[in-house]
Amino acid sequence: MEASPTEERVTGRSIAKATRRAALLEAAATLFAERGYNGVSIEDLGAAAGVSGPAVYRHFAGKPSVLSALLTGVSEDLLDGGRVVAGAAASPDEALKGLIRFQVEFAVSHADVIRVQDRDLGALAADDQRGVRSLQRSYVQVWVDELAAYRPDTDPSLLRRKVHAVFGLINSTPHTTHRPSSARELALFRDLLEEMAWAALTV
Amino acid sequence: MEASPTEERVTGRSIAKATRRAALLEAAATLFAERGYNGVSIEDLGAAAGVSGPAVYRHFAGKPSVLSALLTGVSEDLLDGGRVVAGAAASPDEALKGLIRFQVEFAVSHADVIRVQDRDLGALAADDQRGVRSLQRSYVQVWVDELAAYRPDTDPSLLRRKVHAVFGLINSTPHTTHRPSSARELALFRDLLEEMAWAALTV
DNA sequence: GTTTCAGGTTAGTGGTCATTAACCAGGAAG
DNA sequence: CTTCCTGGTTAATGACCACTAACCTGAAAC
């Protein structure tokens, strides 16, 4: 017995494949963010990853699968990151500040996926959409739990709305036309978003 | 000399035409918000307005013109409304509160156009896009002017970022899955958004 | 060194869709 | 009452595009 089917041999080819797949997802993030899922052709997508057209089908079952992989990935990253951040915090208010910092960092450095997520989620097939929405819900819940601990005796549905609104604030980044240029500018911008988010959240 | 070319006779037909056009724009708002500009066919659009397919071309030059009319309209409404609100206020802080109230009201009652605006603006031809962006910039400027009066000695570009972030917060409404049901709920929700927006803006 | 087979490639293929053509009906104008 | 012409209609037409077929090449496996 050499290797179980799940155990993959690491060969030059498998590396190349993984690399190509990653390049495709990267290209998808950029292109979908720019023109929207329906505005990008498989041909465009392949081309942006240095491969042409139908080669994409060697990595994904179809165009919807690309979107699905992209959005599922980002939702998982957010949920995992959020749980780690919240778990490491010493108090609810530290947790909330950490979550804000984490979300701001994510939104600023992954503006494209954020944009795709709230623009093209509806283009997903019902099943995948359910999956992504479930991950999103869990992530929101991480916030709501901390907020509930920080602000007891508040209607949970109100808390959920607060969290959504704060996401709107933080995720407004991708819509911003004038992106900060220097690193200094960017740091100030992140601080601003964090302060505003905190103020809004603790109203 | 009967009538100048700009002066239109009001006839049964002209009324019917205006009505149909309005119905088409209404349908466009709903459908584009739901499936995105590229996800809606001219056929769908016509059907939603009780007319089929190519009849749309009797009212608009093409699909892009529909989007253009829709977005230009909303941008104008916002700018006009914003100017009235700001002009009627007795002080900068009253003006800001009025602007917030106005924007919240607009976002809540026109969630669909808001969604189309920040989702499909990029689908517009360069010229129309410029026009809409110019209107948006002016609207933002109305806010920035008041904010500058309320908070002197602050970098204007920072103020602009603040305003953008607050728009993100307020305009998060369309992304909210659980829409408030009762009128009471809705009023509470509007109040919440207003409070959060004010807190964020005055950080 | 040969055999496999995964990951590419270039031609279809069928469907969808924006836009145009050709035609029709009925209100407005005279 | 007749003439126009506008807002509709249904049938092309031509792009574009997702996906499939058929074929090729070179790394892995033996």
The pLDDT of residue A11: 79
Q: Which nucleotides of C are covered by protein (CB under 7 A)?
A: 6-11, 16-22, 27-29
pLDDT in tens, A183-192: 999 999 999 9
Closest by alpha carbon to B158, among A171, A188, A111, A173?
A188
- Sequential DSSP letters for A78-134: HHHHHHHHHHH-SSHHHHHHHHHHHHHHHHHHTHHHHHHHHHHGGGS-HHHHHHHHH
When pLDDT is averaged across residues B40-64 and rounded to a whole number, the result is 97
pTM of the shown model: 0.94
User: Is the model's pLDDT at A5 over the cut of 50?
Assistant: no
Q: Is the dihedral of CA B81, B85, B88, B91 positive or negative?
A: negative
Q: What is the mean pLDDT of chain B?
A: 94
Closest by alpha carbon to B120, among B80, B66, B51?
B66
Reported confidence tier of residue B7, pLDDT bands at 50, 70, 90: low
pLDDT in tens, B63-97: 999 999 999 999 999 999 999 999 999 999 999 99
pLDDT in tens, B84-130: 999 999 999 999 999 999 999 999 999 999 999 999 999 999 999 99
How far apart are alpha carbons B3 and B56 in whole angstroms?
28
Q: What is the mean pLDDT of chain A?
A: 94
pLDDT in tens, A91-102: 999 999 999 999
Closest by alpha carbon to B167, among A120, A66, A168, A199?
A168
Q: Which of B164, B166, B196 is nearest residue A162 as measured by Cβ atoms?
A: B196
Q: What are phi and psi of B45, to 5 degrees?
A: -60, -50
Verify whether the Cβ–Cβ distance A192 to B165 is below 8 Å: yes
Q: Which nucleotide lies nearest residue A12, CA to C1'?
A: D27
The pLDDT of residue A8: 64
**Distance to chain B for A151, nearest Cα, Å:** 15
The pLDDT of residue A2: 38
- Is the separation of the CB atoms in A132 and B135 below 8 Å? no
